[in-house]
Amino acid sequence: MPEPLPDQGAARVPYACTVTVSELADVGPLFRRLTTIPEATVTRQHARPEDDELGGAEVLQLLVPSAAVLSLVIRTLPAFIRSRRSSVTVTITRGDRSVTVDGTNLPDPEEVLEITQRLIGDD
């Protein structure tokens, strides 16, 4: 079950996701791209290192008000990944569900709805 999110005025944001990027240099460009999506709130945060890692990573926290906005976020990933010079992997996690997109499995428009449903589950 997703954690309740703080009220933002009269509207509540029902979907909170964490977005990780395989290359640290690509976090900023993805952050800037996602902040252009209307109704999506994106913040950058430092993640704690895992037990076997030396340094922390940077992740994006994504708050969206609806499945439609989450679908729009997912639709932006293929163009972002194609625009990068190196191979980049983007993972969106919501609760115990996650979806990873990279250069080998870029979603087409029909798959975007399936990916969104996988992240949202039975909410």
Q: 8 in a domain, yes or no?
A: no
Q: Count CB-CB contacts under 10 A for residue 63.
A: 18
pLDDT, tens only, 53-83: 666 678 999 999 999 999 999 999 999 998 9
Asked, for residue 5, whether it belongs to a domain, the answer is: no
The answer to whether residue 4 sits within a structural domain is no
Can you give the pTM of this predicted structure? 0.79
Percent of the chain predicted with pLDDT > 70: 80
* Domain region containing 54: 15-120
Note the pLDDT tens digit of each residue in 31-41: 999 999 999 99
Residues 94, 14: contact at Cβ < 8 Å?
A: no
Domain count, the chain: 1
Is 7 part of any domain? no
CATH number at residue 73: 3.30.70
Q: Tell me the H-state helices in the chain.
A: 27-34, 67-83, 109-120
